[in-house]
Amino acid sequence: MTTKQKFGFGCALLGAIGLTTTAASAAEQITFVSQGGAYQQAQTVAILDPSAKKLGITINQDSIPDAWPAIKTQVGSGKPIWDVVDTPTGYCLRGGEQGLIEKLDFSKIPNAAAMPEAYRSPYSVSYEFYSSVLAYSQKTFPKDAPNSWADFWDVKKFPGRRALRNHPIATLEAALMADGVSPDKLYPLDVDRAFKKLEEIKPHITVWWTSGAQSAQLLNDGEVDMEMAWNGRVSAVAKEGAKVAFTYNQGILQSTSLCILKGAPNHETAVKFLNEAVDPVHQANLPLHIDYGPGNPKAFETNVIKPERAAQLPSEPANAAKQALMSYAWWSSPAGEAAEKRWASFMQK
C-alpha cells in the first residue's frame, strides 16, 4: 500500500474534505496530518511509506503549520476528517482535556506501552524529539564558549548580541536554569522567579525571534553572537558552512506527538498505524533523513543509527540526560496557560 501526499496548507481543510471521498471507497486507510516541508518528506520515507506497506493500508497525507485551530473546528463540527495528527504534545493534552482527542488504549499499542511513561500520556505518544539549545558563533567564541544558561545571562564574561524566542515555552525553563534551578527540578515552574530572571537579560536581547527560520538566519548572518535555537536549525546552517555550534547542556528536550481526533472516521486503522509509527526500526529510520531524534528510545538499540549519528541527536540517552524534559502536562495546566498569557504583558513593558 502507499501514502498519498497532499502537502501545503491554505487549503488543508478543503484538501482533507477531498480526501474523505476517497476514504469512503477503501476499507483500510487513514488521513495523517503533519507540518509539511522537509520534515514531512523525511517521515514519509522513514515511517509513513514503510508503515503503509507493512499494514497494507493507504495513508492519505495533509499538512498544516498549526493543527490546533483545525482540530477544534473539525471535532466541533461533529464530522472530523483527519484521523491521526502529528502536533506539539501540548495540543494533544489540551485536546484530550477538552474532549477533542481520543483517549488511547495502550493494550492495542504495544510499541507505545513499552516507551517511558514520561514519553506518553493518556492521549498521545511521543513521535520525535527536538531541543531548544544554547547556540553560539564560533567566530565570536573560538574557545571558552558559553555552555549553560547562566553563561548566557553573564553579559560581562560573555559579551555579545543575544536572541531569545518570543514565546514563554522553553524560555521560562532557560531562565530558571540560569537562576540555578536543576533541570530535573523545574516543574511546577516558579513563574514569578522566571520572569524576574528574564527582566535581567531583557535589555541585552537584540532580537526576540518568532520563527525557526529567523533564528537560523540570525546566526548564519552573524546578527547575534548567541541565542536560544532549535538544534536542527543550528545543524542546518552549520552544514552550509556557518561557523556556529550549540550545546545540549541544559537544553530543553521537546517533542511532537501522535494523537487521534475524537470521532476519527477510521479510528481502528488509526490505532494500528499509531502503533506501527513508533516501531523502533521505523523510528530509527527518521534521523537518517533529518536532524530529529526518535520518539521511541528503543530505536537506539536497533543498530540502524550509527554511533556517530546517534551522538548528534537530542534524544540520544546521553544527550537527553544533560537536558530538561519539557512538561507539556504543566504547560497545558491552568498555571501554564496563565504563564502564556503573562508573556504578552512581559513583552509589552
DSSP, collapsed to helix, strand or coil, labels residue 214 as: helix
pLDDT computed for residue 349 by the predictor: 83
What's the pTM value of the predicted model, to 2 decimals? 0.86
pLDDT computed for residue 11 by the predictor: 37
| Residue 281 pLDDT class (50, 70, 90 cuts) | very high
Q: Where are the alpha helices (DSSP H) in 247-333?
A: 267-277, 280-285, 307-310, 317-321, 328-331
pLDDT computed for residue 202 by the predictor: 98
> What does the pLDDT look like over 113-138, one tens digit per residue?
989 999 999 999 999 999 999 999 99
Tell me the one-letter amino acid at 87.
Answer: T
Across the range 221-249, mean pLDDT stands at 94
Distance CA 136, CA 226 (A): 4
DSSP, collapsed to helix, strand or coil, labels residue 263 as: coil
Residue whose C-alpha cell reads 544533560 in the numeric block: 322
3-state helix, strand, coil in the chain (%, to 5): 45, 20, 35
| C-alpha grid cell, residue 52 | 503503509
H/E stretch holding 60 reads strand 58-63
Distance CA 202, CA 198 (A): 6
**Contact partners, residue 116, CB within 8 Å, separation at least 6:** 297
Of 6-15, 19-28, 156-165, 287-296, give the lowest mean pLDDT range.
6-15
